Structure formats: structure tokens, C-alpha cells
Chain A
């Protein structure tokens, strides 16, 4: 057959690959590319519905960049993202290492227990913790009172300075196990012989971790860092539910997506909402590129 091609000894019609790709292409065009472009178009328009768009140039962007609430949201979200990466991920990795080295028969049970919180979703966790954080009667405050004899009446969710810490604690509980699973999977692929070679070369356990384990799990670690950053910048439901459909006192729980939601649906300004969406996409894009660059491994160059 003159118009057939060969892959690993199998003959196929030249159109066959496209046939297999069609479902993906259709889905990507409809649900990804079209909304993206439409949102881009929308961000330059003043609109309260699909049939009444007025071109306003950069007005939406000008409004956003002059709105103190935007900067508040950007700051809150960034603090949350940094906390996720600097507190949550090391903890996830630590737990993964503990589980990986454990000989315990309960290993799988622990893995499931630590992983399970994120299965229920942010709204449920938000509602749950709005109860748990109740001053005087919530189990969180009772717990720390028992531990350090302080904090029984702490108003986690109504003091502006405490909302972000509360949020970080909740997301720690919710996501630490999720990221741990990635690390655990990566740790299980670490070549045991490299570890042994390093031990014989004179490395202490910490040095083995630093010079062998960490470089070996680097690709997964980079992936987890980037996914965590993206996830953090998309934070919305958790504070929204935790703070009972508000953005908290003094907007202390306002995130970028919260700000988007507020503009698009509370104020009904879809154009500004779309513009915020694009700004958020740009921020995530830039941070991901920086992270990828910073963590590039030497042997891949």
C-alpha cells in the first residue's frame, strides 16, 4: 500500500492518528481554547450578559490595577501560596520519608488516613473547620488550650490577622497527605543502590537525603511545587465556606479568585471578571516558568 505508514512494524493509514486525537481536539477546543479566547475578548468589553457588550479598551484592566482590593487579594493569595510551599511541602515530604522507611504493618492505613481529608472537597472542609475553629467550644481551641494552656477564646475567623493562619492550618490538614502521595511514589523509585553507594562513600543519612534522594525525586518535587502554586493561586471555596460566604473582616480572606467572583457575580461585571482571570493566568504562567527555570537540572542541559 503506497499511502500507508509504519510504526514499530504496524502499518496504518496516514489519517489514523488524527482520528484517535479527534475527541481530545474537540474537547480542548470547546472547553479550553474557546472559553479562553472568549474571556480574552470579554476582558476588553463592558458587559452584563452575552448580548450587550460594549468595547471599553483597557478600562477593565485600569480599574483592576487601581483597586486596593485587588492588591489585597494578590497579597493574601501570595502569602497563602508561599506558606503552602514552605510549610506544607516540606511536611508532606517528611511524612512521605517516614512512611517510606517504616516497616509498620499499619503503613497503608496511615497513608490512607493522611491522604483522605482532601477527598471531601474544600466546601465541606470549610464548613467543618468553621465549626472546629469556634472560640471556646471548637475542638481546635480546646485542643491548644489542653496543650499549651492558651488560646481557648481565640477568634480565628473574625480577627483579620488570624484568618490567613487559620486558612493555612486548614489547607495543611487538607493537602499535606495529597502531596505526600506524590513524594511517596517518587521515593519508591529511588535507586536503592545509589543510597548504598553513598553510604559506603561516607554519607550520613542527612547527606544521603541531600545528595542522592533529593536529586532523584527532583522531577516530582518540581511538579508538586508547581501544582501547589497553581492550586494556591486558584484558592477560593475554602475561605469562602470557612468565612460563611464572605471574604472575612477587612477582606482578610479575599483571594484573587474570590476577587474575580466578587466582581463578576456580585457586581455583575463579567468583563472585569474575565480580565482578572487573564491576569491570574498570566501570574501563574510567569511563576511556573520561573520555578521551572530555577529547578532545571544540570544534566538535562
Chain B
């Protein structure tokens, strides 16, 4: 059990690529922290620095109040699960899991007890005598997880552990890892580029881009108030709709004025911030599920967005409508699957006015 703290951590590779820039991150004991971001944003590098597999160019990393910059990976008491499992091919499932304990000179019966317990937790009992090559991807990943949990480390590090699995297996393992975290209560740091994994698993999420931390918060806080355009567009599927325009003040009421429509910005607590933004170029953001959705329909006197329907994607539980407004700005609405809509038709859909966002176009930061 341990707190992991990164202070002003940067990483410059030999080829002078700055992979990670000035990262500050406090991972509390028992926390499930997810590092998420697009490919190449420095997630793996950050995780590998925590593990000790990569030198830290500047800054400090501490585990359980001890600075570990110069501590060997083997002495950091962390366990890591790799994307392509990294199981020892010449060892059986049992030996793979027992390896770390053997190296630490645990007594035989203790090793046996721990391996058996992990195998039971992960449903690996029938496979203990098999070699990794005789296992499916999901089973291999379980062994990799088992190898990590038998050691009872201070924290678990996961680097995209599910990305080699098929979609169904991924969903199942996602739940299993979450359950495991509940059961063990050990600190976990989990790297993924999949925002769904981030949302569903994390106690908190750290969104990264180009080696820099964008926002650290709980999944819902990030979803509801993304700190900038990048986070807003990255978290959420389908992504948030964006429209360029300006903020205007008409007789004390604020409006977003875009190319095709204007939209009232009604929340009283927004007033001060909006007043400061009047006349500035902004980006207006609405999530697809706040346009024409059952919940948006319930809002009294809701403002609307109009467009002509270009594509309709029924997903089963909901339907995605791809619409173009009169300025040919494409936006997506997530609507009830039974809503009547024909491609080519023009539609006017209610929007929940309390859920919209305005970003500064220049700094890309959230205004409201």
C-alpha cells in the first residue's frame, strides 16, 4: 500500500525527444489512477519511470514517502502488467506466478498458497501446469495479472493490458480488474488510450497530451467540466460537438452567436465569466447526448438546434444522428432509437441548456 507522488517529472530521450514534460501527479493510497491520452502522449514513459525501467530526466518520484529516482526496479516493490503479457515462455503458469516470490526467497508453502489463491481469484486453476503458448490471450493476461498480485506489491502498474484482447474479452477483463481493485485495495496506475476504460475504471483520471498533463479529476468531473477543448473532445464517445463563434450580451442575457444559430447561455453563475468573454472568439460545445435525447426532451422551453439529417446510425440502445446545420457544420445527436427520422429530412432538436460549454478559441481553455 503506498502513495505515489510525481513532482515536476520530465523525460528527455537520447534523441532529444521530450516525451514527458513537468508532470505533477499525486496518487493516493488505494486509488485507481488512470493515465489516458492519444498515442505518443507519454503515458507509457510516465509509467515506466514510476516502475524504474526508464531514467528520470528531472523531477522526483516517490513511493510511500521515499524518493525512488535511484532505486532499482527490483527494489521498488511495484508490479507491472504489460500490454503483450511478457510471460516467461519457458515457465508454466504456476512457475510464472511463483517466479517473483522465489526470487524473494519466500518459503515453498507460502508461495504455493499465494499462487493457488491468485489462481482461484482469476479462474486459472485448470491451467497451472500449462505453458503460456497453450493459453488464449485472455488467459495469458490473467496470468500476467496473477504474477503481479501474488507479490502483494505496494502498487500495480498496468500498461494498456487489455488492448490485445477482443472487444468482448476486453469488457469482461475491465470488470475483473475493477473488482480486483475493490478486493485488494492496492494502489493501481493504469495506462490506456481508451477513454471508455478510463471512464469506467478510474477513481481518478489523468488526461495527457504531448507529454503534458491536461486535467486530473474524477471521471464524472472530467466529463462534466473538461478543462479545455482537447479534454472535451477526447473524453466522451461520440465526441463533443464544437461550433465556432462569439459570446454576445443582449440586454443582460448572454448568447453564443455562431455561423448558423445563436444559443442562450442561461446559468446565473456563468455571468461573470461570460461578461469577460464578450466579443472574444469562442468555441461552443454540446455533447451528443444533450441534443434531442430523451433527457433533453424533458427540459421545459429548451432552446433548439436545427440541421438536415445526413446519416443515421442505429446502435440498438440509441441512435446517432449526423446533422448539418445551415452553415454546413456537422454535429451528432444521440437520440432515442424509436425517434422518427429520415435521411434528408431537416430536424429541430431540443438541447439541454445547462449542459453546454464555452471554450476560449485562442487558449482552448474552458470558460463555462
Instruction: Identify the A interface with B (CB < 8 A).
Output: 191, 193-194, 196-204, 207, 211-212, 215-216, 218, 297-299
CB contact under 8 A between A211 and B88, given known A200-B74, A202-B104:
yes
Q: Are A200 and B51 in contact (CB under 8 A)?
A: yes
Which 6 interchain pairs have the tightest Cβ spacing?
A: A201-B100, A197-B86, A215-B90, A193-B86, A299-B131, A202-B103
Q: Are A196 and B53 in contact (CB under 8 A)?
A: yes
User: Contact partner of A298 among B84, B86, B90, B151, CB < 8 A?
Assistant: B90
Task: Mark out the residues of chain B between 26 and 82 whose CB falls within 8 Å of any chain A CB in the assembled complex.
Answer: 51-53, 72-74, 76, 78-80, 82
In whole angstroms, how far apart are the Cα atoms of A59 and B315 in the complex? Answer: 89
Nearest Cβ on chain B to A5's Cβ, whole angstroms: 31
In whole angstroms, how far apart are the Cα atoms of A201 and B150 in the complex? Answer: 11
> For chain B, which range describes its interface: under 10, 10 to 19, 20 to 34, or 35 or more residues?
20 to 34
Q: Are B131 and A191 in contact (CB under 8 A)?
A: no
- Tell me the dominant secondary structure on chain B's binding face: loop
Task: Mark out the residues of chain B between 65 and 119 whose CB falls within 8 Å of any chain A CB in the assembled complex.
Answer: 72-74, 76, 78-80, 82, 84, 86-90, 99-100, 103-104
Q: Are A203 and B74 in contact (CB under 8 A)?
A: yes
- Nearest-CB residue, chain B, relative to A218: B90
- Nearest-CB residue, chain B, relative to A103: B14
Q: Which of A196, A201, A204 has the largest number of chain B CB atoms within 10 A?
A: A201
In whole angstroms, how far apart are the Cα atoms of A48 and B103 in the complex? Answer: 66
User: B147 interface residue, CB < 8 Å from A?
Assistant: yes
Instruction: Identify the B interface with A (CB < 8 A).
Output: 51-53, 72-74, 76, 78-80, 82, 84, 86-90, 99-100, 103-104, 131, 133, 147, 151
21 pairs, A vs B, C-beta closer than 8 Å: A191-B86, A196-B82, A197-B88, A199-B72, A199-B74, A200-B51, A200-B52, A200-B53, A200-B73, A200-B74, A200-B76, A200-B78, A200-B80, A202-B74, A203-B74, A204-B74, A211-B99, A212-B88, A215-B88, A215-B89, A299-B131
Q: Are B103 and A194 in contact (CB under 8 A)?
A: no
- Nearest-CB residue, chain A, relative to B79: A200
- Nearest-CB residue, chain A, relative to B73: A199
List A contacts of B104 (CB < 8 A): 202
Q: Are A202 and B100 in contact (CB under 8 A)?
A: yes
- Nearest-CB residue, chain A, relative to B77: A202
Nearest Cβ on chain A to B20's Cβ, whole angstroms: 18
User: Contact partner of B151 among A201, A211, A212, A218, CB < 8 A?
Assistant: A201
- Nearest-CB residue, chain B, relative to A299: B131
List B contacts of A200 (CB < 8 A): 51-53, 73-74, 76, 78-80
Nearest Cβ on chain A to B130's Cβ, whole angstroms: 9
- Nearest-CB residue, chain A, relative to B80: A200
Q: Are A299 and B99 in contact (CB under 8 A)?
A: no
List A contacts of B86 (CB < 8 A): 191, 193-194, 196-197
Extra contacts besides A197-B88, A197-B147, A200-B80 (20): CB < 8 Å: A193-B82, A194-B88, A197-B87, A199-B52, A199-B53, A200-B51, A200-B52, A200-B73, A200-B78, A200-B79, A201-B74, A201-B147, A203-B74, A203-B103, A211-B99, A216-B90, A297-B90, A298-B90, A299-B89, A299-B90
